[in-house]
Amino acid sequence: MPGWLFGWISRLRARDIVGNVVVGGNSGIVYMVSGAGPPPDPPTVPWAEALPAAGSLFEIFNLLSWKSRLVKELRGREAEKRSLLEWAHTGPRLRIRFLVGPGGAGKTRLAAEIAETLTGWRAGFAALERATTLPLSRSGLFIILDYPEAWPTEVESLLREAARMAPPPAPIRLLLLSRRPMSEWSRLIDDCGATTLCDAQEVGIGALPPETALSLFRDAAVGLAAHRRRGAPVVEETAFVSWLLQEPQLHALPLFVTAAAIHLVDEPANTLGLRAGDIVAALVERERKRLDAAGAAVGFRANAAAGLGGASRLVGLAALRDGLDAAALRRLAAPELEIGVPQPTQVVDAARAAQLMHGDRVLAPAPDIVAAELLRQTIGDAGDRGPAWVWETLS
């Protein structure tokens, strides 16, 4: 556990807490009076402590994650941040809001920045799929719930219980981050009787203005080059604006701007001629080669023609579920599947030696757009074996 987080938890005193809140799973949301003993751990925002080391495994994936903050200052979301902070500090004790936007728009980063701003609050992420007990401080509790469309039953429980809940003794704010517009949530909100708790006006975010996108692109490229101890790449404003105009609603999303900046550092002459999807595909291919090189050193096999093989395929298949545990790894190691991994009796140790495992599993890659591209490439490798790979992963 990072030292700063341990210090935060150790300073959480029972007298600062006015109750506990259970959120997620079948519980929905439940307020409980504090009992004896220490309060539960507060929610957290899992920022990365530093940028990933140059050439490290998952470097590109981690650079694209909101947790790394390749560019420290949040760009182009000032109005939305002010609106959400005002919402948090005003109104009834219990309020629910949806923050909506396409994948790559920066919803999670914005929510995390708001949580960090709420001094004195207990603020951070919670899971919808399982019940979690969180402390309610006198200032308030700010809970971020990501990707609610993946957990429709749990969202319904949350809204129904919130509608029945008596006003808590301190503010509770639930911010749901969704790719679906508010119009697609309205029926469920009405059916659950939660209309008065949910703001009628959604907060939506999308493409950045051209000048903001350029600023983000330049700072991400210069910052990454400095981190890798390289000279700063040349950023041609005219070429970048032309690139934006190819697909303005896609290219100006923060994730794709950042991906283009990362690509520019490595291939300055071959970036702004590519579309966003091609840039992400190229970055994923580069990361796959790094993963497969690490895998080859411990017994994974690679495709001789493409140089891509079993290690990156496991990470790609992990995107189909919440990671791959030991049982899933052994299933996927069946020789007839031809994934390119060691024998079932050896695959777990090999995955651990290749540094693919975190704890007891190979984690699903992130961000989601990167995971989707890695899975696409993985299934492309499979040919007519694709259905069998998917079946064994989901079994």
204 alpha carbon, distance to own chain's centre? 18
> What is the chain's alpha carbon radius of gyration, rounded to the nearest angstrom?
22
pLDDT of residue 152: 95
263-283 per-position pLDDT tens digit: 999 998 889 999 999 999 999
pLDDT of 386 over the 50 cut: yes
Does residue 333 have a pLDDT over 70? yes
The mean pLDDT of 228-232, rounded to a whole number, is: 92
Instruction: Decide if 95 contacts 197 (C-beta within 8 A).
Output: yes
Q: E strand or H helix at 116, and its extent?
A: helix 107-117
Q: What is the mean pLDDT of residues 253-266?
A: 96
Strand ranges across the sheet with 203-204: 122-126, 141-146, 172-178, 94-100, 203-204
Q: Residue 205: pLDDT band by 50, 70, 90 thresholds?
A: confident
Q: How do the domains of the chain map onto residue ranges?
A: 3-62+73-204, 210-274, 280-394
87-104: average pLDDT: 94
Selected residue with higher pLDDT from 4 and 162? 162
CB 324 within 8 A of CB 318: yes
DSSP assignment, residue 193? T
Model pLDDT, residue 216: 97
3-state secondary structure 238-265: HHHHHHHHHCHHHHCCHHHHHHHHHHHH
Q: How far is CA 37 from CA 15, 44, 120, 122, 134, in A?
A: 11, 21, 21, 18, 14
Q: Report pLDDT digits (tens) over 105-130.
A: 999 999 999 999 999 999 999 999 99
Q: Tell me what pLDDT residue 322 has.
A: 84
Domain 3-62+73-204 part of CATH 3.40.50 = yes
Average pLDDT over all residues of the chain: 91
pLDDT tens by residue, 159-186: 999 999 999 999 999 999 999 998 899 9
**β-strand pairing of 172-178 with 28-32:** unpaired
- 350: CB partners within 8 A, 6+ apart: 295, 298, 299, 300, 341, 342
